[in-house]
Amino acid sequence: MWELTKAFRFEAAHALSGTTFGADSEEIHGHSFRAEVTVRGTPDPATGMVVDLGLLERGMEEVRKTLDHKLLNRIEALGPPTLENLSRFIWERLQHSAKLTRVSVHRDSCNESCTYYGPQG
């Protein structure tokens, strides 16, 4: 069994209310995000690949365009723009591209990340 991880970066703004950060979090502010998409499988005997990374990259680029330089609060399908919802949002848009294992979203400047492993059950 193999796992492959491919990453992309995006810049985005958001505002979050109801956190212990108070007014700092409630004001619109931006972050640099790094998303990692991990797939698992056995390489195809003909290609030697678990997944064609070019195909996965196409899907990731579409997601990146949806998020990059956007106000995340305006992306209706996202819900509150938290790391948790970002990782789920990315999973939902890429789940048909490959057999996903996890999606992680990092805010490296804040030393924070969240990993989503897909729906339970």
pLDDT of 23-40, one tens digit each?
777 788 999 999 999 999
Measured in residues, the chain has a length of: 121
pLDDT at residue 90 is higher than 90: yes
pLDDT score for 94: 96
pLDDT score for 22: 65
pLDDT band at 80 (very low <50, low <70, confident <90, very high): very high
